[in-house]
Amino acid sequence: MTGFDFSGKVALVTGGSEGIGAVIARLFAEHGADVAISARRQDKLEERAALIREQTGRRCLAVVADATDPQQVEQLVERTLGEFGKIDILVNNAGNSVRSSLRKLTPEIWAKGRALNLDSAAYGTMAVGKHFLERQTGNIVNISSVAGINGTMGEVPYSAGKAGIQMLTRVAAAEWGRHGVRVNCVAPGMTTTEKMQRSLDAGIYDIADIAKRFPLQRAGTCEEVAYAVLFFASDYASYITGQTLAVDGGPPIAGFTD
């Protein structure tokens, strides 16, 4: 599968210390790329970077950065360029669930949800975009959520932020396509990340019951989401831009059966 050969490429993955972001970074490295990962906690970040280097033999740069702070994002990009000389792929993965019903929503909760789940992707796009436009090539993959497609009650700021990422994807693709830059989006559904596993262990979720709502009737894996990201970044997707791909086990459709 030569289209999945990322030898000579550099991938920057935000939110790369655990979960989907960590698996995305590892798979890029397994397929030949050097990678940079960022997150807010240095201990977890350094541990993940060391593991990726050990597992893949590729270079992995760990940069502590808050993706909601535009100055720190600029510094992250500068560190990555200083280490590798270029960036070929940006994965805007940083984000987190911010729960609130509309009735209980406050300006503070709204601002936090928007910053984590929309502003972070916008800041990454702006910072790396300058480099991509200068080189007239580049690839951005944004991580949204099915909450941004269908909405999730009780998660107003999260759903709105993730929906915003999908429109950011479309507009960036439209503006930058002529400059050799492709921008796409992956929208995961229920995925067995470390965070979800902790919730399962604590009895917060009954994953079997939730999974009954979806055609495939199971949670997805981080690898299944990550390979969709690799596809968008690969030559196999060279004529695809501005698209959002749901990796969610299928749409929940109510109605009658046989």
Q: Residue 40's CB: how many other CB atoms inside 10 A? A: 16
pLDDT at 99: 84
Among the options 158, 205, 236, 239, which is catalytic? 158
Domains and CATH numbers, the chain: 2-246 (3.40.50.720)
pLDDT at 201: 65
Question: 158 catalytic, yes or no?
Answer: yes
pLDDT at 78: 98
The pair of structure tokens assigned to 183 is: 């921008």
Q: Residue 192's CB: how many other CB atoms inside 10 A? A: 16
* Whole-structure pTM value: 0.93
For each of the chain's 258 residues, which pLDDT tens digit applies? 567 999 999 999 999 999 999 999 999 999 999 999 999 999 999 999 999 999 999 999 999 999 999 999 999 999 999 999 999 999 999 998 888 889 999 999 999 999 999 999 999 999 999 999 999 999 999 999 999 999 888 899 999 999 999 999 999 999 999 999 999 999 999 888 877 777 666 767 777 777 788 888 888 999 999 999 999 999 999 999 999 999 999 987 766 666
- Gyration radius of the chain over CA positions: 18
pLDDT at 2: 62
